[in-house]
Amino acid sequence: MEMNDMVIISVDDHISEPPDMFKNHLSGKLLETAPKLVKDDNGKDVWVYQGQSFASVALNAVVGRPFEEYGMEPTSLDQLRDGVYMVDERVKDMDVNGIAASLNFGSVFDFAGGRLHRVPDRELAVHHVSAYNDWHIDEWCAAHPGRFIPCAILPTWNMEATIAELKRVSAKGCHTVSISENPTCQGLPSIHNAYWDPFYKAINELDMTICLHIGGGNPAPHASMETPIEAWISTMPMSIAYAASDWLNLKALHDYPDMRIALSEGSIGWVPYFMERADFSNSRHKYWTHSLFQNTKPSDMFKKHFLNCFIDDAFGLDNVEYIGEDNIAYECDYPHSDTLWPEVPERLWPTIKHLTDAQIDKITHGNAMRWFRFDPFKHIPKEELTVGALRKKAEEEGVDTTPKSSLGERPLAEGEVRPVTSGDIMKMFSRHEETEAKEEA
């Protein structure tokens, strides 16, 4: 196999939704009360909903910017690549990047619908969650069959509505949902509480996959507000380990042997030690903890139920034998700052070419197809979805990858030279929130 022969499915990308996303899926009062994208006094795009303003959907959508203009600041859609929020342009950006298909997380309600837990009328929000899912499945994903893996969000504050929505989106052909890895952060019972039993039952009866995305619940820890931001960014993927350990000890995994959980944007290099540590801890403590793992190793359960997703992880790919070749999938993370667009094949190939062709096929697309119950080849011949074929198509389409300069608010004052800290970023967010509060008042 050569680089251009790879078929790459990305199991973690993102959308900054367009302002008209609800117009075809709601009417009357429900449309009138749906989230609206407006510009604040500083020209930044914010979603306004039920008296609250959500941080701009363009947060961290820096794909295509020069590196020196990277940042975490909110901005406006017109500063971004069109592919961030326009589906036809997204597919062109996938073509030039050699990406055959993509699973996209939303932004308006966050990756797992967490913002909806803070609105005053959550029964109204149930309808708007459904409208979001209709837009995502029927407009965004259906615009290019075979190129997108649908992923729904749920009104998890209302379990009856959650089960109804699971059945509804499943009937539409959506087999994946994104939920918070730690619902207690949203004021809900923990994943070990009986509250979630109907959810686990429905997920398994409908043969659906659960995505747990970093940042969907547990905050990525950082030492202090004076800590350089690079320290925080460096450890963000590993923050998923907290969720992995919690979910690994879930009784439902023992009750439902086919349950599938994807650890989105969590990377893979830490996984061998995590499994080793889980086994060691269990061997020392299961006698007094009443552990569920009396006759089964935690590592065996982890390999059976968890998919590990990586962006750039040469160490992990050198240790596939300890992770499991059936438990790894690729992700591009477009349009976030970690994305390697438009050079994914050039970055991925040197780290994966030492594996067998069969292993490469599993990690680049086969595992994604199996774990997410998705087959792009039903719609598009495989030979048209290789890196080489897609890039040839992009060349014919004239896809422009020239960096787009659009410098927005910066974390440091002009002329100030020192490492940007976590506190600097928090101050930026605070200033934005203060502006929103004044507007609402």
Cis status of the peptide bond prior to 18, with omega within 30 of 0: no
- Domain 3-440 fold is TIM Barrel (3.20.20)
User: Smallest Cα–Cα separation from 10: which of 393, 354, 396, 341?
Assistant: 341
> By three-state DSSP, how is residue 5 classified?
helix
Asked if the model's pLDDT at residue 413 lies above 50, the reply is: yes
**So what's the pLDDT on residue 113?**
93
Angle between helices 159-171 and 122-134 (to 10 degrees): 10
* Token digits of residue 140: 């965004």
Residue 390 to residue 5: CA distance in whole angstroms: 11
* ∠ CA 191-193-199, rounded to 5°: 65
Cβ neighbours of residue 89 closer than 8 Å, sequence gap 6 or more = 81, 82, 83
Averaged pLDDT, 73-86: 87
* H-only helix segments in 135-174: 159-171
60: alpha, beta or left? (left if phi > 0; alpha if psi -120 to 50): left
Asked if the model's pLDDT at residue 223 lies above 90, the reply is: no
**Burial (CB count within 10 angstroms: exposed 0-12, middle 13-18, buried 19+), residue 330:** buried
**126-154: per-residue pLDDT in tens?**
999 999 999 999 999 999 999 999 999 99
Site of tokens 């390697």: 340
Asked if the model's pLDDT at residue 317 lies above 50, the reply is: yes
User: Smallest Cα–Cα separation from 250: which of 202, 295, 305?
Assistant: 305
* ∠ CA 184-189-190, rounded to 5°: 65
Asked if the model's pLDDT at residue 313 lies above 90, the reply is: yes
**Residues 272/317, Cβ–Cβ less than 8 Å:** no
**Residues 311/267, Cβ–Cβ less than 8 Å:** yes
Angle between helices 240-248 and 271-289 (to 10 degrees): 40
> By three-state DSSP, how is residue 81 classified?
coil
User: Smallest Cα–Cα separation from 300: which of 321, 324, 318?
Assistant: 324
Of all residues in the chain, the percent with pLDDT exceeding 90 is: 78
pTM of the model: 0.94
**Residues 200/253, Cβ–Cβ less than 8 Å:** no
Residue 390 to residue 395: CA distance in whole angstroms: 9
**358-380: per-residue pLDDT in tens?**
999 999 999 999 999 999 999 99
Residue, of 54 and 205, whose pLDDT is higher = 205
* H-only helix segments in 269-379: 271-289, 298-305, 314-318, 320-323, 344-352, 357-361, 367-371
Averaged pLDDT, 37-47: 87
**Residues 297/281, Cβ–Cβ less than 8 Å:** no
Cβ neighbours of residue 330 closer than 8 Å, sequence gap 6 or more = 8, 9, 10, 11, 309, 310, 311, 348, 363, 364, 365, 368
User: Smallest Cα–Cα separation from 281: which of 316, 257, 318, 245?
Assistant: 245
Angle between helices 298-305 and 271-289 (to 10 degrees): 130
> By three-state DSSP, how is residue 50 classified?
coil
**Residues 186/217, Cβ–Cβ less than 8 Å:** yes
Domain boundaries, the chain: 3-440
Residue 244 to residue 275: CA distance in whole angstroms: 10
The H or E element spanning position 9 is: strand 8-14
**246-278: per-residue pLDDT in tens?**
999 999 999 999 999 999 999 999 999 999 999
**Residues 159/126, Cβ–Cβ less than 8 Å:** no
Average pLDDT of the chain is 93
Asked if the model's pLDDT at residue 425 lies above 80, the reply is: no
